[in-house]
Amino acid sequence: MKTKLTRIALAVTALLGTAVIQAADTEPIQPIKPPANVNLGMVELGKKLYFDPRLSKSGFISCNSCHNLSMGGTDNIPTSIGDKWQQGPINAPTVLNSSLNVAQFWDGRAADLKEQAGGPIANPGEMAFTHTLAIDVLQSIPGYVREFKQVFGTDKIDIDQVTTAIAEFEKTLVTPNSRFDQWLLGKKDALTKDELEGYKLFKDSGCVACHNGEGVGGNSFQKMGIVEPYKGNTSDGRAAVTGNDADRFNYKVPTLRNVEMTYPYFHDGAYWTLTEAVDVMGRLQLGKKFTKEENARIVAFLKTLTGEQPKFLLPILPPSSDKTPRPTPFGK
């Protein structure tokens, strides 16, 4: 009788164990879903706009300049370079998987990608243009006029269409099928022992409290420096949006998807290696000093979050016409 019960218990345990390992929905991290409800014509238009430096005053800076899709959707420098080489105030967050974020920008001041897309175009420290001038440029380019008409059904281009199309393209910039997602979806040998131990540490130490969900982050605002204060640059953060003093130094938790590619780290881009970033996070957010071995395992796990990078043909932009307002890279 006892033997039979034991056998049943073992069988149940084995089943449960399998269920825990295989059923992704019991893990704090969820696999990235490929984008659905995509308007392909709008994506193609948005892709061109994303790569078009004519949306900047200088004719030199495009969305892709700072959110470079060859480099994890970032510029891999601490803070970005804007019009006339102005130094940006904050690290450019990756555009990859940004559709999964609860809001856009480090302080969440844009509700969604569409709202975000209009920001840099008109920011004097970034693309330094105005929405009106950008529309004047686009409206003067016959190739764009035709494509906007095809997509939006009207001869008159407006900024709402521009940001809608860019956001639609950005919706496609997800990175599914990382080794970690393959593991979540049942490929048990997708991760090494060290990587799995790193994931266990990541969960058991409390990193998943903020870095969870499909984006492994991006879905909440948290204080930078909970246990210990952060010694780097700290702006108001979320408080600039809410006006609430309690939100000072609060930033949107960055996604850890493709984190191997999105250095340097944190809102001020002050740390270049994952080893440093894991150490700082452990101490400041969790009051925990990871050993060298623990740190290395967590880093090994983090590198399994690199997914398939967006794969598309470099877009060819329609040429300007004789009537196109000229860029002003120098002077004025």
Q: Which residues in this chain contact its own copies in the complex, by CB under 8 A?
A: 51-54, 58-60, 65, 68-72, 75-78, 81, 84-85, 87, 260-261, 263-264, 272-273, 275, 309-317, 319-320, 322, 326-327, 329-330
Nearer to its own copies, 4 or 326 (CB): 326
CA 190, CA 177: separation in Å to the nearest integer?
11
For residues 307 and 178, is the Cβ–Cβ distance under 8 A?
A: yes
Least Cβ distance, residue 56 to its own copies (angstroms): 11
Catalytic positions: 126
> Residue 42 or 137: which CB sits closer to its own copies?
137
- Provide, rounded to whole angstroms, the least separation between the CB of residue 273 and its own copies: 5
Q: CB–CB of 21/15 below 8 Å?
A: no
Task: Quote the least distance from Cβ 262 to its own copies, whole Å.
Answer: 9
Which residue in 89, 51, 60, 29 sits closest to 235, CA to CA? 89
DSSP code of residue 88: P
77 CB contacts (<8 Å, ≥6 apart)?
264, 269
Length of the chain: 332
Which amino acid makes up residue 147?
E
The rounded radius of gyration (Å) of the Cα atoms in the chain is 23
Judged by CB, which is closer to its own copies: 88, or 213?
A: 88
Record the tokens describing residue 173, joined without a space: 């910039």
Pick the closer one to its own copies by CB: 158 or 260: 260
| Nearest-angstrom CA–CA distance, 145 and 149 | 6
Residue 125 CB contacts under 8 Å (≥ 6 apart), including other chains: 82, 83, 86, 88, 89
d(C-alpha 243, C-alpha 252), whole Å: 16
Half-sphere exposure of 22 (CA within 13 A, CB side): 8
Tell me how far, at minimum, the Cβ of 305 lies from its own copies, in Å.
Answer: 13
Nearest to its own copies of 30, 86 (CB atom) = 86
Contact of 211 with 217, CB cutoff 8 Å: yes
The β-bridge partners of 82 are 86
Measured from the CB atom, the residue of 66 and 103 that comes closer to its own copies is 66
Q: Which helix (H) or strand (E) holds 181?
A: helix 179-184
CB 239 within 8 A of CB 247: yes
Q: From the CB of 206, what's the least distance to its own copies, in Å?
A: 25
Closer to its own copies by Cβ: residue 4 or 332: 332
Closest distance to its own copies from the beta carbon of 264 (Å)? 8
The CB-of-57 to its own copies minimum distance in angstroms stands at 11
